[in-house]
Amino acid sequence: MSGEQGIVRSISWRDLCPWLILFRALRLAFHPGLIALATVGALATPIGWRLSESAFLSDTSLRNPEFREFVERQSRWQHLPRPRTAGTSRWLERLEGRIEASIGSAAAPPLNQLTAPFRWFFSGQPLSLGQCLYLMAGTLWMLTVWGFVGGVLSRVAVVQYGWDEQTGLFDAAKLVVRRAQGLLLAPLFPLGAIGLLTAPCLLLGWLMRFDIGVFVGGILWLLVAVAGVLLALLVVGFAFGWPLMPVAVVAEEGGDQFEAFHRSYSYLFGRPLHFIFYVALALFLGAIGAIFIDTFLDLALRMSGWAVSWGTGAERWRTISDAANGGEAAGSLWAGSRLIGFVDHLVGTIAIGFRYSFFWCATAAIYLLLRQQVDEAEFDELYREEDEDTSFQDVVRQAESGDTT
């Protein structure tokens, strides 16, 4: 009896190592349209913080140097630092420093921008009413901007991962607009729960201003400790799970705030070690992408200065470059150099836009990986708008034919 020898003709790396999808996230994040949209979000976020600052903060509110530094950072236009000199001679010498800086800041802009308000709010430092209103208004603006921008970027990413299809930013934006309610309300669920749990503790804290209140607090402290555990779970789930919410809204058929809240928390706490591994790999890949785009844009800015310096002369270009970076100038020199600096800063913002682009592309990939682990759902099990249109057309045809079965 002759035996048959099996031959392995192909290996499905997607099934064997599903986390390789994160490498696709790195490639997708370089898409010019995604970087452009992410850059718009990066430029729009400080606008809300500046409006909140002018509306709710006074000179008294900014006496705390740490809070003042936080306010300045939230209102600042993030960009790659503009080089002051032309040419490539020193650029090659600074390449090692650029690589180290890129690795250190690969995920810094998205993570710092999205988590800084919450870290300040939960830091335990005393906050005035104006500071609280500033944090609340700026945070709502930030969640709105990145809820919509992140929803569009996530929709493009999940369609690419699940169906190997390309969807336009306009089509993704239309879906995001239709599901705006879920994007806006999903992050408010954990924040509302935190507020409800904090309210009785706040009342007990007011009572504990008196000695008898401390005695009452001692009796009820076990309940306070339980509330603290629940608050910690809500805060951790929100801090790490909020980026998963816009992905759930645009990826699932239900796609509302309830499903986004449920899936983000269940995936995060259901597979915490998987989540940590995926995030670590994403940070590594993001650092590689940041090194590439930072180095390329830095070289591009230097080469533009190098090309122009052949006509202006080295000394004249150094004067213009210093004025563009805030040096003293007057008249046409001041106006022209400021325009040059503005354009260079805009180009430098593309480096920040890439970081946000990769952040949401990687978050979409992590969401699909966690969903596969927890719900055993394949990557291609996504909401398709044509299904909804087809179902509606079937109902219309049945009604016209008189078929009520």
Mean pLDDT across the stretch 60-70?
84
In this predicted structure, the answer to whether residue 88 has a pLDDT above a threshold of 50 is no
Residue 2 lies in a domain: no
Residue 401 lies in a domain: no
Residue 189 lies in a domain: no
In this predicted structure, the answer to whether residue 311 has a pLDDT above a threshold of 80 is yes
pLDDT band per the 50, 70, 90 thresholds, residue 365: very high
Distance CA 294, CA 97 (A): 11
Residue 340 lies in a domain: yes
In this predicted structure, the answer to whether residue 131 has a pLDDT above a threshold of 60 is yes
pLDDT in tens, 196-207: 998 998 899 999
74-83, 199-208, 318-327, 353-362: which has the minimum mean pLDDT? Answer: 74-83
Q: Which domain holds residue 111?
A: 17-175+272-383
Domain count of the fold of the chain: 1
Candidates 306, 333, 311; CA nearest to 322 is 333
Residue 190 lies in a domain: no
Q: Are 86 and 299 in contact (CB under 8 A)?
A: no
Residue 46 lies in a domain: yes
Distance CA 221, CA 201 (A): 10
Distance CA 153, CA 145 (A): 12
Query: For residues 285 and 392, which has the higher predicted lDDT (pLDDT)?
Result: 285
Residue with tokens 């239900």, as numbered in its chain: 254
Mean pLDDT across the stretch 167-189?
90
Query: For residues 1 and 34, which has the higher predicted lDDT (pLDDT)?
Result: 34
Distance CA 399, CA 405 (A): 10
Distance CA 174, CA 180 (A): 10
Residue 3 lies in a domain: no
47-61, 135-149, 386-400: which has the minimum mean pLDDT? Answer: 386-400
Strand (E) or helix (H) holding 55: helix 32-56
- Residue 356: its pLDDT value, please? 92
- Residue 87: its pLDDT value, please? 47
What pTM does this model have? 0.83
In this predicted structure, the answer to whether residue 279 has a pLDDT above a threshold of 80 is yes
In this predicted structure, the answer to whether residue 254 has a pLDDT above a threshold of 50 is yes
pLDDT in tens, 165-174: 888 889 999 9
Query: For residues 354 and 89, which has the higher predicted lDDT (pLDDT)?
Result: 354
pLDDT band per the 50, 70, 90 thresholds, residue 157: very high
pLDDT band per the 50, 70, 90 thresholds, residue 405: very low
Distance CA 402, CA 334 (A): 76
- Residue 348: its pLDDT value, please? 80
Strand (E) or helix (H) holding 246: helix 244-251
- Which range has highest mean pLDDT (30-34, 117-121, 301-305, 345-349)? 30-34
In this predicted structure, the answer to whether residue 101 has a pLDDT above a threshold of 60 is no
41-50, 76-85, 327-336: which has the minimum mean pLDDT? Answer: 76-85
In this predicted structure, the answer to whether residue 404 has a pLDDT above a threshold of 60 is no
- Residue 249: its pLDDT value, please? 93
